Amino acid sequence: MRIEIDPIACDGHGLCAELLPELIALDEWGYPLIADREVPPELEALARRAASVCPTLALRLAPRHRAGQR
């Protein structure tokens, strides 16, 4: 699976970086920086949890290859 952030929805609460520091860090303004968008299988459960606790539902998980993706 792949991590996608909707930058309009994201308000920088930062819960994702706390749950998934292996893949997500926060910039100096508190917004997520994704090290690697592809989630390795061992982190999938944590990634799902990060997506579900995001207060603005800005973090989404998408299938690896998605049509129409830039």
Partner 1 sequence: MSLPRLLAGIDDLPMDQRRHTSVHGELPRWRATELLAELERSGLRGRGGGGFPLALKLAAVRRGGSSPVVVVNGTESEPMSTKDRLLMWCAPHLIVDGAVALADAIGAAEVIFCLDELEPRIHESLHREIGERAEGRRLTMGIVATPGGYVTGHESAIVHWHDDGIATPLPNPPRVSERGVRRRPTLVANVETVAHVALIARHGADWFRELGTEADPGTALITLSGAVADPGVYEIAHGEPLASLLRTAGGASEPIRAFLVGGYGGGWVDAGELPKLRLSRAQLRPFGTRLGAGVVVALGQSACPVAEIARAAEWLSAQSAGQCGPCIHGLGSIAAGMASIRDGDDPPTLDRVARWCELVTGRGACAHPDGVAEFISSALRVFAPELIDHAELGRCDACDASPTLTLSGTHAVH
Minimal distance, residue 15 CB to partner 1, in Å: 15
d(C-alpha 60, C-alpha 47), whole Å: 9
Q: Which residue has the tokens 């968008």?
A: 37
Judged by CB under 8 A, does residue 64 bind partner 1?
no
Torsion of CA 51, 60, 62, 20, to 10 degrees: -40
Judged by CB under 8 A, does residue 69 bind partner 1?
yes
Q: Which is nearer to partner 1, 41 or 63 (CB)?
A: 63
Residue 57 CA, distance from chain mean position: 10
Binding mask 6-45 for partner 1 (x = CB under 8 A): xxxxxxx--------------xxxxx-x------------
